[in-house]
């Protein structure tokens, strides 16, 4: 063997030893049944695997790729049925506030939490006899605190992760500022942009704190009970564990978010799922889109919200509008038959969305306002028409409208005239496309790659066995100290007391003066009569 070959082999062996020594074992728990959530989590977990770490991932949407080494998946796909059973998400927009919807949904989430912890592979994982060892727990930071004691069992730090903006109850938990009327709070019932009246702000204030109170006094204790059932009564309080996560990855890129102050442990991420290499379309679909020389419109309401949930009347309005368009319409429609389907409308139960958005003939994207779909539309410079249904969708569509890259319609009252006007406005007015192009350039102009940054922060937490230096002491304060409500109360009470005392004194003085005047007047009157 030559000296050059010997040096090369030595370097390879040293690199292998170093890589093996650096590699960590990571447990990921992502139970929310939505592919749009899961592909964000998958972006990070796969990148960590490529860095040499070993991953065990609990997910509703496994990759199922046997060639992936050091990547074990526990499939909890059954949660889709639990979450979506007998729920018409479009109808919920008409009937309920976000708090009311959570009152209805949270019992399902309790059941789903139980089912995950009772899953044979998961039970084997946390069994005291399993011998499993990890260096980090990454958990979906949404509604799953009963899984947090796994970090105590494995003696590892926790990273929270969310595929959308951090919800109010989590913002409160980690000590982030709560501003109920700020448009960044997607769960604050802010459906419209603009200056809010005092009454609207008061409503938002009451709604936000009612929701936080409900979560912490009702839902958290129920999750604590589940955790104690499976991990024993000696476990820490799940609320405290939630408050003390090392850091949180939040899918909230500044150019497409309503910017608000955040504490240091919140790390913005985004675009993990957007493909750098577009998958080819099927020959049939490729031919249809290529032949749409005047252009085509793509419509999809996502995975949990389905077009088949539209009422017959609303569906007829869509069909009437589409039939008058000179464009082909690709509609992700989850049924075999669409009654009254015009010749220019093509339905698909499943659509390769990113590949469709990447086609040069596309004119506009009609969607429900999901964050991942928004990122994809921006990446491929496609103007949008938003029909938000629930959760964070109003916020994203409002932001797109404020940036001038899309329009918004109300899905419960949409009609053919309004839909046609929206499509024609977005397609024929070139400024929408130009502003979307500038937005895409702005999104891409940043000092680091978001995924590489997330991997660095993950390894930072592993290296230091946590990140207590990022913890905000605000998270340890009672609610009334967070916004100095106790000080405001004392100052207000003192001012009111002083004003009350002053008013009483002034009143007494005035009464005394009036009494003296009356007395003097009477004396003068008596003297005059005597004279």
Burial of 88 (0-12, 13-18, 19+ CB in 10 A): middle
Q: Are 249 and 272 in contact (CB under 8 A)?
A: no
Report helix, strand or coil for 115.
helix
Rounded-to-integer distance, Cα 200 and Cα 181, Å:
8
Rounded-to-integer distance, Cα 387 and Cα 121, Å:
40
Strand ranges across the sheet with 136-140? 71-75, 54-59, 25-30, 136-140, 158-162, 247-251, 266-269
Q: What local confidence, expressed as pLDDT, does residue 142 receive?
A: 93
Report helix, strand or coil for 344.
coil
Q: Are 415 and 317 in contact (CB under 8 A)?
A: yes
Report helix, strand or coil for 161.
strand
| Residues written for the chain | 531
**Residue reference for tokens 């230096």:** 469
**Residue reference for tokens 């060639």:** 67
The pLDDT tens digits along the chain (531 residues) read 455 555 544 444 444 444 444 689 999 999 999 998 999 999 999 999 999 999 999 999 999 998 899 999 999 999 999 888 878 888 888 766 778 888 888 999 999 999 999 999 999 999 988 889 999 999 999 999 999 999 999 999 999 999 998 999 999 999 999 888 888 877 766 656 667 788 888 888 888 889 999 999 999 999 999 999 999 998 999 999 999 999 999 998 999 999 889 999 999 999 888 888 889 999 999 999 999 999 999 999 988 888 888 999 999 999 999 999 999 999 999 998 999 999 999 999 999 999 999 999 999 999 999 999 999 999 999 999 999 998 889 999 999 999 999 999 999 999 999 999 999 999 999 999 999 999 999 999 999 899 999 999 999 999 999 999 999 888 888 888 887 888 888 999 999 999 999 999 999 999 899 888 887 787 777 776 666
Neighbouring residues of 170: CB distance < 8 A, sequence distance ≥ 6? 141, 142, 160, 162, 242, 248
Q: Are 251 and 164 in contact (CB under 8 A)?
A: yes
- The residue among 390, 393, 386 whose CA lies nearest residue 370 is 393
Backbone angles phi, psi at 286, to 5 degrees: -60, -40
DSSP letter string over 214-243?
HIIIIIHHHHHHHHHHHH-TTSPPHHHHHH
pTM of this structure: 0.87
Burial 398-430 (b: 16+ CB within 10 A, else e): bbbeebbbbbbbebeebbbeebbebbebbbeee
Fold of the 15-270+448-481 domain: Rossmann fold (3.40.50)
Q: What local confidence, expressed as pLDDT, does residue 515 receive?
A: 84
- The residue among 273, 249, 274 whose CA lies nearest residue 139 is 249
Rounded-to-integer distance, Cα 119 and Cα 114, Å:
9
Neighbouring residues of 289: CB distance < 8 A, sequence distance ≥ 6? 281, 296, 328, 330, 356, 359, 361, 362
- Other C-beta atoms within 10 Å of 363: how many? 20
- Other C-beta atoms within 10 Å of 334: how many? 14
Q: What local confidence, expressed as pLDDT, does residue 2 receive?
A: 53
Long-range contacts of 123-131 (CB under 8 A, 24+ apart): 125/27, 125/56, 125/74, 126/150, 126/153, 126/230, 126/231
Distances (CA, A) of 244 to 193, 203, 224, 527: 34, 30, 16, 85
Torsion of CA 319, 191, 362, 272, to 10 degrees: -130
Rounded-to-integer distance, Cα 528 and Cα 47, Å:
105
Fold of the 283-444 domain: Rossmann fold (3.40.50)
Rounded-to-integer distance, Cα 89 and Cα 388, Å:
11
Q: What local confidence, expressed as pLDDT, does residue 20 receive?
A: 41
DSSP letter string over 419-448?
HHHHHHHHHH-HHHHHHHHHHHHHHH--SS
Q: What local confidence, expressed as pLDDT, does residue 189 receive?
A: 61
Burial 431-453 (b: 16+ CB within 10 A, else e): ebbebbeebbeebeeeeeebbeb
Q: What local confidence, expressed as pLDDT, does residue 241 receive?
A: 96
Rounded-to-integer distance, Cα 303 and Cα 349, Å:
10
Rounded-to-integer distance, Cα 361 and Cα 293, Å:
7
Q: Where are the beta strands (DSSP E) in 309-401?
A: 328-332, 345-348, 362-367, 384-386
Alpha helices in 52-194 (DSSP H): 79-84, 89-95, 98-117, 120-126, 149-154, 168-174
């Amino acid at each position: 063997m030559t000296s050059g070959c010997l040096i090369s082999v030595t370097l390879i062996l040293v690199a292998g030893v170093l890589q093996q020594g650096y590699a960590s074992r990571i447990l990921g728990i992502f139970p929310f049944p939505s592919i749009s959530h899961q592909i964000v989590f998958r972006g990070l977990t796969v990148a960590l695997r490529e860095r040499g770490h070993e991953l065990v991932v609990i997910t509703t949407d496994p990759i199922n790729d046997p060639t992936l080494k050091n990547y074990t998946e526990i499939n909890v796909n059954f949660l889709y049925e639990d979450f979506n059973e007998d729920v018409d998400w479009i109808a919920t927009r008409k009937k309920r506030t976000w708090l009311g919807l959570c009152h209805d949904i949270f019992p399902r989430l309790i059941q789903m939490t139980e089912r995950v912890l009772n899953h044979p592979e998961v039970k084997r994982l946390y069994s005291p006899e399993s011998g499993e060892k990890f260096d980090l727990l990454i958990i979906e930071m949404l509604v799953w605190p009963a899984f947090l004691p796994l970090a105590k069992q494995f003696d590892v730090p926790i990273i929270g992760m969310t595929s959308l903006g951090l919800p109010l109850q989590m913002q409160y938990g980690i000590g982030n500022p709560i501003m109920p009327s700020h448009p960044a709070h997607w769960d604050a019932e802010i459906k419209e942009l603009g200056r809010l009246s005092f009454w609207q702000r008061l409503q938002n204030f009451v709604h936000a704190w009612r929701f936080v109170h409900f979560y912490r006094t009702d839902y958290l204790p129920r999750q604590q009970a589940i955790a104690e059932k499976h991990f024993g009564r000696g476990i820490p309080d799940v609320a405290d564990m939630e408050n003390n996560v090392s850091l949180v990855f939040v899918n909230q890129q500044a150019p497409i978010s309503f910017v608000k102050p955040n504490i240091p442990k919140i790390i913005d991420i985004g675009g993990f799922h957007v493909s750098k290499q577009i998958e080819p379309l099927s020959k049939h679909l490729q031919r249809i889109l290529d032949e749409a020389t005047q252009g085509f419109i793509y419509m999809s309401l996502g995975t949990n919200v389905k077009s088949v949930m539209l009422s017959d009347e609303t569906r007829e309005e869509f069909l009437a509008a589409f039939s008058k368009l000179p464009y082909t319409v690709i509609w992700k429609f989850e049924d075999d038959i669409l009654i009254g389907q015009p010749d220019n409308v093509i339905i698909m139960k499943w659509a390769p969305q990113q590949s469709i958005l990447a086609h040069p003939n596309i004119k506009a994207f009609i969607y429900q306002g999901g964050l991942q779909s928004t990122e994809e539309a921006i990446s491929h410079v496609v103007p949008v028409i938003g029909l938000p249904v629930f959760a964070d969708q109003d916020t994203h569509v409002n932001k797109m409208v404020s940036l001038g890259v899309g329009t918004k319609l109300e899905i419960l009252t949409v009609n053919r005239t309004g839909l046609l006007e929206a499509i024609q406005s977005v397609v024929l007015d070139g400024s929408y496309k130009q502003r979307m192009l500038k937005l895409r350039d702005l999104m891409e102009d940043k000092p680091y790659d978001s995924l590489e940054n997330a991997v660095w922060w993950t390894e930072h937490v592993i290296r230091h066995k946590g990140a207590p230096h990022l913890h905000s002491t605000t998270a340890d304060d009672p609610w009334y100290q967070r916004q100095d409500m106790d000080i405001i109360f004392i100052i207000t009470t003192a001012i009111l007391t002083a004003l009350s005392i002053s008013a009483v004194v002034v009143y007494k003085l005035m009464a005394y003066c009036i009494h003296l005047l009356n007395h003097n007047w009477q004396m003068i009157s008596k003297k005059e009569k005597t004279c």
